[in-house]
A = this chain, B = another copy of it.
Amino acid sequence: MMNCEPLDLLVTGGTLLTMNGTMDLLENPVIGIREGRIVFVKSGTAEMPEARERLDAKGCTILPGLVNTHTHAAMVCFRGLADDLPLMEWLERHIWPAEAKYVNREMVYAGTSLAIAEMILSGTTTFCDSYFYSGSAARAAVDAGMRGVIAQGFIDFPTPDSPDPSRQIEIAEKFVGTWRDRSPLVTPSLFCHTPYTCSTGTLTTIKETARRIGVPFQTHLSETREEVHIIRERFGKSPVQYLDSIGVLDEKTIAVHCNWIEEDELDLMATRGVKVSHNPESNLKLASGMAPVPKMLRRGIAVGLGTDGCASNNDLDLFGEIGTAAKIHKLTEMDPTAMDAATVLRMATIEGAKVLGLEREIGSVEPGKWADLILIDMEKPHFTPLYNLYSHLVYAAQGSDVTTAIVGGKVVMKDRRLLTIDLPAVMEEVRRIGRTIQTDRTVKP
């Protein structure tokens, strides 16, 4: 039955990269949006349907909003606190003590709000977050009109929000129960820190809970060589073999990093349908290693891009990851054809959605999906001349080229002004948190 109500929003003009299965490109598209979802996508038409709001995309490329498959958003509060250090010194002497001391409900709300502002300003409309006080992160997402897969985290030692690791199932069920139907913007999830910081019991308990209540399960996996050695010593198996042996791997498992993965592990991941979040800038900055992404893609493994947290990146601009991902594997494979621009842009959109289990909801511009769109201003010297849109978006674009962002049909940024976040207030609150942290330390400029 046709809905004769006027549309809520009509986006017209420019060039649309749908990122659908056939990678359709439409010049002068007309995109109709009602109740948050895309109703139709057509080529330019003389007769324009009625709509409460219209958005002119002339001179712009329209893309599905980018999907950041791995962040610890509130860690923006630690951005630049400690860099260029050996990994264990960085973690044990800077990040973990700072987290133990300064992470609380308010810090997570403020930090996540700032992170969301930064992500919207650089074209991300969905983020997958794992940190402490996940309820605060989910609230920040809903308040900002941002889409998020928000995970409650688990680790086998007391954390700021969970002093008692024995109450895992209760905490997991409570978090998912609270958030599963509260907002179409939030998908709750469960996250185990790593196979070397979570016991077999924790991993299986959390995965079983996630499976029973039908939410994505996430874990950092094989980020460093050292942790592969630890798992091999403890269990006599590679990390992927170990996780498979305890029944943790399936198509709703998201493995983050996967830098040190052998061929047989890749085969196993492909067989089980495991999804991968690839975080190249963080992996470079921490000298962790580099995921064999071309090998994953050849096996049909879904790979999305992530920024990781701001202590190890140090920004949340997914265009940075896009450019880095497109280039770094050419070097590691010594092959300039290793991953082309369109493939990488798929990783940042529809493949990222697949990683999060949201490929029927977001990740491409198609009727029925949520209207999560971004507009990129192509009237820039670094986009001139134009031979190939994919090339420009991957090798020349930066987050600041995004002018407009729409999440679930709601315009959250227009002409680079954020419409749902009081940015000066959020920045001031995070600065206040930063000053508190800095007065306890002697940090040179």
Interface residues of A (CB under 8 A from B): 25, 76-77, 79-81, 83-87, 90, 114, 117-118, 121, 281, 283-287, 289-290, 313-317, 320, 323-324, 326-328, 330-331, 333-341, 379, 381-382, 384-392, 395-396, 398-401, 423, 426-427, 430-431, 433-435, 437-438, 443-445
Residues of B within 8 A of A437 (CB): 385, 387
Residues of B within 8 A of A337 (CB): 84-86
* Contact yes or no, B80 A386, CB < 8 A: yes
- In the complex, residue of chain B having the shortest beta-carbon distance to the beta carbon of A339: B84
A22 to chain B, nearest CB (A): 12
* Interface residue from B81, B336, B339, B388 paired with A80 (Cβ < 8 Å): B388
* Interface residue from B315, B336, B400 paired with A285 (Cβ < 8 Å): B336
* Contact yes or no, A340 B284, CB < 8 A: no
Copies in the complex: 2
Given A382-B317, A430-B385: A391 touches B83 (CB 8 Å cut-off):
yes
* Interface residue from B316, B340, B431, B435 paired with A83 (Cβ < 8 Å): B340
* Interface residue from B290, B384, B387, B426 paired with A438 (Cβ < 8 Å): B387
- In the complex, residue of chain B having the shortest beta-carbon distance to the beta carbon of A333: B287
- In the complex, residue of chain B having the shortest beta-carbon distance to the beta carbon of A433: B385
Q: A84-B337, A118-B381 are in contact. List 7 more A-B contacts (CB 8 A).
A: A281-B323, A285-B327, A287-B334, A289-B331, A314-B396, A324-B324, A390-B445
> Could you tell me the distance between the alpha carbons of A297 and B55 in the complex, rounded to whole angstroms?
52
* Interface residue from B333, B398, B431 paired with A385 (Cβ < 8 Å): B431
* Interface residue from B290, B395, B399 paired with A314 (Cβ < 8 Å): B395
* Contact yes or no, A385 B77, CB < 8 A: yes
Given A25-B445, A384-B76, A431-B385: A287 touches B336 (CB 8 Å cut-off):
yes
* Contact yes or no, B284 A331, CB < 8 A: yes
When A and B form their complex, which 4 residue pairs have the shortest distance between CB atoms, in order from nearest?
A385-B434, A80-B391, A284-B327, A400-B400
* Contact yes or no, B381 A117, CB < 8 A: yes
Scoring A121, A341, A385, A387 by chain B CB atoms within 10 A of each residue's CB, the highest score goes to A385
> Could you tell me the distance between the alpha carbons of A401 and B338 in the complex, rounded to whole angstroms?
32
* Interface residue from B285, B324, B388 paired with A445 (Cβ < 8 Å): B388
Scoring A334, A338, A437 by chain B CB atoms within 10 A of each residue's CB, the highest score goes to A334
> Could you tell me the distance between the alpha carbons of A335 and B323 in the complex, rounded to whole angstroms?
22
- In the complex, residue of chain B having the shortest beta-carbon distance to the beta carbon of A434: B385
Residues of B within 8 A of A445 (CB): 25, 388-390
> Could you tell me the distance between the alpha carbons of A308 and B434 in the complex, rounded to whole angstroms?
38
Could you give 13 example pairs across A and B, Cβ below 8 Å? A76-B381, A76-B384, A80-B388, A83-B341, A84-B340, A114-B381, A289-B334, A324-B324, A381-B423, A385-B433, A398-B398, A398-B399, A400-B400
